[in-house]
Structure 1
Amino acid sequence: MTDNADAIVIRDAVKSFRKSTIRREYTTFKSELVRLIRGQRQQGELRLIEALRGINLRIPKGRTVGILGRNGSGKSTLLKLITGIYSPTSGSIQVNGRISALLDLGAGFHPDFSGRENILINGIILGMSRAEVQARMEDIIAFSELGDFIDEPVRTYSSGMYMRLAFSVATHVDPDILIIDEILAVGDEHFGKKSLAKMTEFKQRGKTIVLVTHDLNTVERWCDMAAWIDAGRIRRVGTPAEVAHEYRQAVALAQEQSMVMRPPALSADGGALPSLAVQEGPRPLTGPQVPPQKRWGSFEVEISGVHLLNAQGAAVTSLDTEDPLEISIDFSTRQVVKDVGFGIALFDQQGTKVYGTNTFVEAVALPSPLPAAGSVRLSFQRIGLMPGVYSLDVCAHPAEGREYDYHRGLYQITVSSSQQDSGLVRPPHTWSVHSAESLPLNVLPMRVQAS
């Protein structure tokens, strides 16, 4: 039985594929015919390729999970086990709830049927009745934005149109678990934002989302947890920041060692990335001692303290949207540094960057070289954010290259407001009312004369 708190439970899952290799020699039609008459068969080699090598993973209900790993590591095979396309060679996969999946582009669509007909077919395959699909048909078509093309054969669709239709169907059949395998990379910017908004709605409704992607920033900002698959095995499960940081380190180390990145199933060791045991860089001498996924850098310049101050210079953790805010960044240097800038970025609870800036883009003149110790201060006359909890990234970095010291999400500020407007920011504004007679001539309402 599956734990009721878990949407997916994978226990010791192994998936192997048979590969038959037949040695090909130059032959003629006559020689092949003689071989066939004599009942001779070409001798070949049969071998097993292990795509997954004992996967253990629990995905709680209502969580958004990012699956990381290089090409050939077994990510897509894992998703096909979860969705039931493949059966495990050994081990077990247990799923609680209805699954909807976006895997291979166009998978499940019949090329000669229209988009409307494919919606009906896919909805029934995903467990809905014909009446349920018909009731949601217009919503699916409207979301896909295919217009009149919905009644054309899907073989006439572009890859983007395929993706729109597939995503619309998958997200409108009310699944408990949504599985996505990199398919959203096909869409344009507009539909990408629309899709992200839809998945955010899924998160808020307590649905489970499993996402395979190579975009580490998406995983860090949007997922609740992450799993790194390497060589067909789970190498790390944890917070998105922790897993993405270790993955980046391993890939960088592999590049430094000029490793040949063979598909894991075709190599004896699984083509695994190198151990991170030797990846011990310099550590900060001052400032907060925090986990490496929250702070990293070369530390020629160190951020020794960050203070959020109100108009009176007192430290604050909350303020009103109309209040001023000063961010004070204390720094120290290990050596003479001339190429340095300081930056900040504010993020909301969904991981959306609300605002970001640095001294390079604003052409702020800093002392060169930087003094041995000091502070840089950024002042906002009014914070202007809507109510919510915001996290702050702070960084010291050169114009190009690796950061000197990066603090990710170590600082938070809560914004409140007595106003009832909505959105992300509250820009300064006023309302006024004017009668038609008091308007200047050049702003009088336009009158359209009927012809």
Structure 2
Amino acid sequence: MTSAIASPDAIVLRNVVKRFRKSTIRREYTTIKSELIRLLRGQRDTDGKSMIEALRGIDLVVPRGKTVGIIGRNGSGKSTLLKLITGIYTPTTGTIDINGRISALLDLGAGFHPDFSGRENILINGIILGMTRAEVKARMEEIIAFSELGDFIDEPVRTYSSGMYMRLAFSVATHVDPDILIIDEILAVGDEHFGKKSLAKMTEFKRAGKTIVIVTHDLGTLERWCDLGAWIDAGRIREFGPPADVIRSYRRAVALAEERGMAMESPALASDGGALPSLASPQGESSPLTVDAVRLRGRDGGAVESVDTEDGLELSVAYTARTPAPELGLGLELIRADGVLMHATDTFAEEVPFCAAVAGSGTVRFVVDRLGLTAGRYTFTVVVRDRAGQVREKREEACTFEVRSSVQDGGVTRPPHRWIVEGAAARVAPVRDVGS
């Protein structure tokens, strides 16, 4: 690894490969210490088949000052990638350049000595991260105050709960003035108050031009908070770019895997490498009932690309039954841009009188009188399935539209409601109907 602060890129990986022995996969990956012990004992891998490639030719460039979110299934190589970036692991082949001081939040409690107090661990970790003893001591009280550990700061960390571990780890990692912050989902641990406080601190980091790399399973975090997204699958980067594009490709691949009934086991343990199907792969046996076109219209019947939350819309699905297919129906999924499923239904669940008992074409219209959604971007996916739920055809993101709202509210929906004001303030607004 190198540290050249003048570089425009904070992190550069070139053709990085990381292999582990199969015998360690189900326990934990090897470390430098365990590898030295194994070699001293004369244990060597003579059979290449006993090795597993956790990462396979990774090329990744993280520009300085950007926040990159990494997604992928469990076992796809996300945490291994972070441990390579932070220097916990060394690559089997390839090169890694780190330009700047790096701080990391990886495994809960990693880097803490259980018998030392929180205060002592702050000093040790600060020095490990490249600060002088004087620099750490100068920031000690600030770190302790942020952690909100109070008198527990002088107790051994083995007495800490997981939430207390997280508070201490986050406080140290973010107060040692790093250029690069690495996070492996550790922010999921802890209470709501500290979670908001941590997010505010990370937002401060972003505004200060720091580089952040975060592993997350929350597609909403990737969509709303990251500048770039990376999808890792079976040890390879399948896509890197704008978060919305990465999320779209990831969701399509997962949906295709579910449609084919593929097992979602850890890619590192799968005999075939565990990769999700290619998005260009054929869908197998063609469906006798197909979707020809999907159109979105407003109340006036005209095509729309945006609609007010108080307005309605109509989704028109043109279909063709090449042969009789009375066992098939149509389903719809309304999905927000960050991957949140807002609504899903089909003609079976709602007992819609749809039955393709004879060959021919037609149209099914899904009419929404009032959207009631908060502002944002949404898509409709159209599915052909049987009553048991087996998907025969799926039109991902068949149409996309924007929802506008004059009210800056949060959440996902705007249900019809009323505000009733009583007392002195009733002279201003006694009753106000909203979204009725």
What TM-score range do you get, normalising by the shorter chain? 0.5 to 0.7
TM-score, with structure 1 as normaliser:
0.64
How has the CA–CA distance of structure 1 residues 367 and 410 changed in structure 2, closer, same or farther, with 3 Å as cutoff? closer
Query: Do the aligned residues in 2 keep the contact of 1:250 with 1:273 (CA within 8 Å)?
Result: no
CA displacement at 1:190 relative to structure 2: 6.0
Partners of 1:242 and 1:16 in 2: CA distance: 27
CA displacement at 1:347 relative to structure 2: 0.6
Partners of 1:64 and 1:4 in 2: CA distance: 18
Flag structure 2 segments of 5+ consecutive residues without an equivalent: 23-39, 241-245, 427-436
- Alignment partner, residue 156 of structure 1: 159
CA displacement at 1:81 relative to structure 2: 2.0
Query: Do the aligned residues in 1 keep the contact of 2:380 with 2:399 (CA within 8 Å)?
Result: yes
2:283 alignment partner, one of 278, 281, 284: 281
1:139 counterpart SS class:
helix
CA displacement at 1:188 relative to structure 2: 7.8
- Structure 1 segment 56-205 matched on structure 2, within 5 A: 56-61=59-64, 62-66=66-70, 68=72, 71=75, 75-88=78-91, 90-115=93-118, 117-119=120-122, 121-123=124-126, 125-126=128-129, 129-130=135-136, 131-141=138-148, 152-159=155-162, 161-163=164-166, 165-167=168-170, 169-170=172-173, 175-181=178-184, 183=186, 187=189, 201=203, 205=207
How has the CA–CA distance of structure 1 residues 57 and 250 changed in structure 2, closer, same or farther, with 3 Å as cutoff? farther
Partners of 1:395 and 1:114 in 2: CA distance: 57
Partners of 2:327 and 2:169 in 1: CA distance: 52
1:319-374 alpha-carbon deviations (Å, 9 max, x no partner): 223222223333333441425342222314xx152721313796343424566433
1:79 counterpart SS class:
helix
CA displacement at 1:83 relative to structure 2: 0.6
1:228-275 alpha-carbon deviations (Å, 9 max, x no partner): 354xx636334344356558878999969xx998769xxxxx964589
Query: Do the aligned residues in 2 keep the contact of 1:220 with 1:244 (CA within 8 Å)?
Result: no
Deviates more, 1:241-250 or 1:353-362: 241-250
Is 1:302 the equivalent of 2:290?
yes
CA displacement at 1:314 relative to structure 2: 1.1
- Alignment partner, residue 55 of structure 1: 58
- Alignment partner, residue 374 of structure 1: 362
Partners of 1:43 and 1:83 in 2: CA distance: 29
TM-score, with structure 2 as normaliser:
0.66
**What do you get for the CA RMSD once the two structures are aligned?**
5.0
Residue identity in the other structure for 2:109: G
- Alignment partner, residue 352 of structure 2: 365
Query: Do the aligned residues in 2 keep the contact of 1:216 with 1:244 (CA within 8 Å)?
Result: no
- Alignment partner, residue 334 of structure 2: 345
Flag structure 1 segments of 5+ consecutive residues without an equivalent: 20-40, 265-269, 284-297, 439-451
Deviates more, 1:300-309 or 1:61-70: 61-70
Partners of 1:207 and 1:218 in 2: CA distance: 21
Partners of 1:374 and 1:199 in 2: CA distance: 55
Q: How many residues align?
A: 385
Is 1:356 the equivalent of 2:343?
yes
How has the CA–CA distance of structure 1 residues 120 and 359 changed in structure 2, closer, same or farther, with 3 Å as cutoff? farther
How has the CA–CA distance of structure 1 residues 399 and 175 changed in structure 2, closer, same or farther, with 3 Å as cutoff? farther
1:16-60 alpha-carbon deviations (Å, 9 max, x no partner): 6799xxxxxxxxxxxxxxxxxxxxx99765658575564332234
Larger radius of gyration: 1
Is 1:312 the equivalent of 2:300?
yes
2:375 alignment partner, one of 387, 393, 407: 387
Residue identity in the other structure for 1:137: I
2:325 counterpart SS class:
coil
Residue identity in the other structure for 1:155: R
CA displacement at 1:180 relative to structure 2: 3.7
Partners of 1:432 and 1:167 in 2: CA distance: 44
1:137 counterpart SS class:
helix
How has the CA–CA distance of structure 1 residues 207 and 275 changed in structure 2, closer, same or farther, with 3 Å as cutoff? same
Partners of 2:150 and 2:9 in 1: CA distance: 39
- Alignment partner, residue 412 of structure 1: 400
Partners of 2:396 and 2:44 in 1: CA distance: 52
Residue identity in the other structure for 2:147: I
Partners of 1:203 and 1:395 in 2: CA distance: 43
Residue identity in the other structure for 2:325: V
How has the CA–CA distance of structure 1 residues 418 and 396 changed in structure 2, closer, same or farther, with 3 Å as cutoff? same
Residue identity in the other structure for 2:145: E
Query: Do the aligned residues in 2 keep the contact of 1:67 with 1:226 (CA within 8 Å)?
Result: yes
Query: Do the aligned residues in 1 keep the contact of 2:289 with 2:325 (CA within 8 Å)?
Result: no
1:158-213 alpha-carbon deviations (Å, 9 max, x no partner): 4565445545654666755443446567x489699869966995897576554556
1:374 counterpart SS class:
strand
How has the CA–CA distance of structure 1 residues 405 and 263 changed in structure 2, closer, same or farther, with 3 Å as cutoff? closer
Partners of 1:346 and 1:169 in 2: CA distance: 38
Query: Do the aligned residues in 2 keep the contact of 1:262 with 1:271 (CA within 8 Å)?
Result: no
